Amino acid sequence: MRNTYLWFIQLVTGVLIAVLAGIHMVLMHLDAILGFFGVDATGITSWESMIQRSNQGIWASLYIALLAVVLYHALNGLRNIILEMTPSARTERIITRTIVAFGIIAFVWSAYVPISLLSA
Amino acid sequence: MRQVQPRQNHLGISGWIWAGNYKLERYLYILHRVTGLGILLFLLLHLTMTTVFRIQGQDIWEATMSILHNPWFKIGEYLVVVALVYHSLNGLRLILQELGFLMGKPTPPIYPYRDSLRKKRPWTMAIIGIILILCLVFFYDFVTGGW
């Protein structure tokens, strides 16, 4: 039953990532085509532009939300691939705990940076 | 009494590159897995760049960005975009199928049979078409945006 819930969250996070990462990708990479539609996205990776976004709570919240769903989707996907090799129950526990620990550390560290940059 | 052995469909690790007797969908599954692992690798690099390098100030950030504007990194960036487009849209197809969409209505098994694989194949081809179009759009932007 637990794996059913984990799989359902995998589907939900997949849809959320497709929307949030899709917006992120279009803004970061489609500057020529966005320019054609009158949206100026040039210099979006410059320090000034990045700090300007970092100072806004809405962008920090969006980045942290994207971070949470991406980390869950990626690490649960990796766990599923490894567990498909049908390791022993003990190995499965070790793999799950290692991936959960890595996910928590990556989330705390990666969420700390946008929060600390809010007042930069 | 002779026992009938179940058919072995488990392809093991070799099933990551070879689909055996399976059809197109199995290759889409392999590509979904490979792109997923590639995106995970990129995610680790991306998180390192946007945390460790970002927090160290303007000079380190700009030095990192100048490295990323190298043409080889640009090619890698395009491959990441292609992987993301494929993984997202193929994932959407899988979600829709899992929820019972794109499979068609159940029909009685009267010859000529029309199984669910044949019913969903046109949708699969349509998704592949959309993926190719989006990859071309991103390619156009990468070329005209300056490498």
Residue-range domain boundaries for chain A: 2-117
Residue B12 clears pLDDT 80, i.e. is over it: no
pLDDT tier, A3 (very low <50, low <70, confident <90, very high otherwise): confident
Distance from the Cα of A60 to chain B's closest Cα (Å) equals 13
- Angle at A68 (CA atoms; ends A64, A69), nearest 5 degrees: 120
Nearest to B78 by CA among B26, B132, B141: B141
Nearest Cα to A111, choosing from A81, A82, A68, A69?
Answer: A68
Residue A1 parent element (H or E): none
Distance from CA of A91 to the nearest CA of B (A): 19
> Closest residue of A to B60, CA-based?
A47
E strand or H helix that includes residue B111: none
Residue A80, chain B, CB below 8 Å: the answer is: no
> At the topology level of CATH, where does B21-101+110-144 sit?
3 helical TM bundles of succinate and fumarate reductases (1.20.1300)
pLDDT over threshold 60, residue B79: yes
pTM exceeds 0.90: no
**How sure is the predictor about B45, in pLDDT bands with cuts at 50, 70 and 90?**
very high
Range 7-66 of A in CB contact (< 8 A) with B: 11, 14-15, 17-18, 21-22, 25, 29-33, 45-47, 50
B109 vs B126, more confident: B126
Give one DSSP letter per residue of A11-36, joined into a string: HHHHHHHHHHHHHHHHHHH-HHHHHH
Q: Is pLDDT at B136 greater than 90 in this prediction?
A: yes
- Residues of chain B positioned with their CB less than 8 A from the CB of A19: none
CA gap A18, A10 in Å, rounded: 12
The pLDDT, as a whole number, for residue B38 is 96
What's the ipTM? 0.88
Cβ neighbours of B33 in A, within 8 Å: 81
| Reported confidence tier of residue B96, pLDDT bands at 50, 70, 90 | very high
| B84 closest CA partner among B134, B50, B124 | B134
With vertex at residue B31, the alpha carbon angle to CA A107 and CA A34, rounded to the nearest 5 degrees, is: 65
Mutate to test the interface with A, among B44, B47, B143 (most CBs of A within 10 A): B47
Residues B88-100 have a mean pLDDT of: 92
B121 pLDDT more than 90: no
pLDDT at B120 over 80: yes
Can you tell me the mean pLDDT for B100-119?
A: 79
Looking up tokens 């819930």 gives: A5
Question: Measured between alpha carbons, how far is B131 from B123 in angstroms, rounded to an integer?
Answer: 12
Q: What pLDDT was estimated at residue A108?
A: 96
pLDDT at position A2 is: 80
**pLDDT number for residue B9:** 53
**Contact residues, chain B, for A11 at CB < 8 Å:** 95, 98
**Whole-number Å distance between alpha carbons of A96 and A36:** 47
Can you tell me the mean pLDDT for B23-34? Answer: 90
What pLDDT score does B4 carry? 59
A21: chain B residues, CB-CB within 8 Å: 84, 88
Place of tokens 């991936």: A99
Nearest CB to B51: which of A46, A74, A113? A113
pLDDT band of residue A46 (cuts 50, 70, 90) is confident
- Chain B residue with the nearest C-alpha to that of A111: B51
Distance of CA B91 to the CA centre of its chain: 7
Mean pLDDT across B74-99: 93
pLDDT of residue B1: 57
Point out the least confidently predicted range of A44-53, B13-22, B42-51: B13-22
Q: How far apart are CA B145 and CA A33, in angstroms?
A: 9
CA atoms within 13 A on the CB side of A19: 8
Q: Do B62 and A106 touch (CB under 8 A)?
A: no
**C-alpha to C-alpha distance for B97 and B86, rounded to whole angstroms:** 16
Is the Cβ pair B88, A33 closer than 8 Å?
no
Amino acid at A88: S
CATH class, range A2-117: mainly alpha
* Closest by CA position to B54, among listed A68, A61, A113: A113
